[in-house]
C-alpha cells in the first residue's frame, strides 16, 4: 500500500504508518534500514532512528519485551526467575567477549543479535580460539547478508 506521498509503508503497523505519512508530508526524509523495522528520519541537519514495534495488538513496552531477548532475560531475572547468563557484545572488542566467556565458564553459546531466527547459533564452544574464529565468521555472515539486502534495494 502506497501512501499519498508515494512511500510504501505497508509492512509498518497502522499507528506508526500514520506518523510516517505525516512526517513524509512535512518533507522529513524517511529511509528504511534494509529488512528491519528501523527507519531513519532526516530533517535538515537532524537525524533520528525510529523503530516500529507497537501494533494495535500489543503495547510498545510489551513489544520491546517480546522482541528483545536480552531485555526479556534481564527482566525475568529481576523477577526471580533463573535464566542462563549472557551478554551482548558490539564486536568492537573481541577481548570483552573472551573475558566474559572465561568468567561464566566454558562451554558457551555464540549467536548473532540481528534477528537471525535461530540461524548461525553455535553451541558447545569450549575455548577462546573457538570464540574468536566463530565471532569473525558471524561478523562476515552478517555483513554479507546486509550487503546482499542493500544490493537488492538498488
Q: In this structure, are 38 and 89 located in the same domain?
A: no
Q: In this structure, are 39 and 88 located in the same domain?
A: no
Number of domains forming the structure of the chain: 2
The pLDDT value recorded for residue 55 is: 59
Q: In this structure, are 104 and 146 located in the same domain?
A: yes
Q: In this structure, are 89 and 46 located in the same domain?
A: no
Q: Is residue 116, in this structure, part of any structural domain at all?
A: yes
Sheet containing 29-32: order of strands: 29-32, 38-43, 46-51
Q: In this structure, are 141 and 88 located in the same domain?
A: yes
Q: Is residue 65, in this structure, part of any structural domain at all?
A: no
Q: Is residue 39, in this structure, part of any structural domain at all?
A: yes
Task: Report the SS3 class of residue 8.
Answer: strand
Q: In this structure, are 93 and 140 located in the same domain?
A: yes
Q: Is the pLDDT of residue 117 over 70?
A: no
DSSP-derived secondary structure for 70-118: HHHHHHHHHTT----------SS-HHHHHHHHHHH-SSEEE--SS--TT
Range of the domain at 42: 14-51
Q: In this structure, are 89 and 139 located in the same domain?
A: yes
Going by their DSSP bridges, the two strands 29-32 and 108-110 should be labelled as unpaired
Q: Is residue 27, in this structure, part of any structural domain at all?
A: yes
Q: Is residue 70, in this structure, part of any structural domain at all?
A: no
Q: In this structure, are 91 and 147 located in the same domain?
A: yes
Q: Is residue 30, in this structure, part of any structural domain at all?
A: yes
Question: What pLDDT band is residue 126 in, cutting at 50, 70 and 90?
Answer: very high
Q: How many CB atoms lie within 10 A of CB 31?
A: 11
Q: Is residue 129, in this structure, part of any structural domain at all?
A: yes
Could you tell me which residue, 146 or 20, shows the higher pLDDT?
20
Q: Is residue 102, in this structure, part of any structural domain at all?
A: yes
Q: Is the pLDDT of residue 154 over 60?
A: no
Amino acid at each position: 500500500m502506497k501512501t499519498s506521498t508515494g512511500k510504501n509503508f505497508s509492512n509498518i503497523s497502522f499507528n506508526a504508518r500514520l506518523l510516517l505519512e505525516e512526517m513524509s508530508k512535512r518533507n522529513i526524509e524517511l529511509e528504511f534500514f534494509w529488512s528491519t523495522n528501523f527507519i531513519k528520519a532526516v530533517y535538515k541537519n537532524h537525524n533520528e532512528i525510529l523503530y516500529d514495534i507497537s501494533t494495535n495488538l500489543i503495547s510498545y513496552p510489551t513489544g520491546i519485551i517480546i522482541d528483545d531477548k536480552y531485555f526479556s532475560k534481564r527482566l525475568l531475572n529481576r523477577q526471580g526467575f533463573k535464566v542462563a547468563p549472557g551478554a551482548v557484545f558490539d564486536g568492537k572488542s573481541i577481548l570483552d567477549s573472551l573475558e566474559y566467556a572465561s568468567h561464566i565458564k566454558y562451554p558457551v553459546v555464540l549467536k548473532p543479535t540481528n534477528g537471525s531466527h535461530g540461524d548461525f547459533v553455535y553451541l558447545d564452544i569450549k575455548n577462546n580460539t573457538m570464540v574468536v574464529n566463530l565471532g569473525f565468521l558471524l561478523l562476515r555472515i552478517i555483513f554479507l547478508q546486509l550487503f546482499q539486502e542493500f544490493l537488492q534495494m538498488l
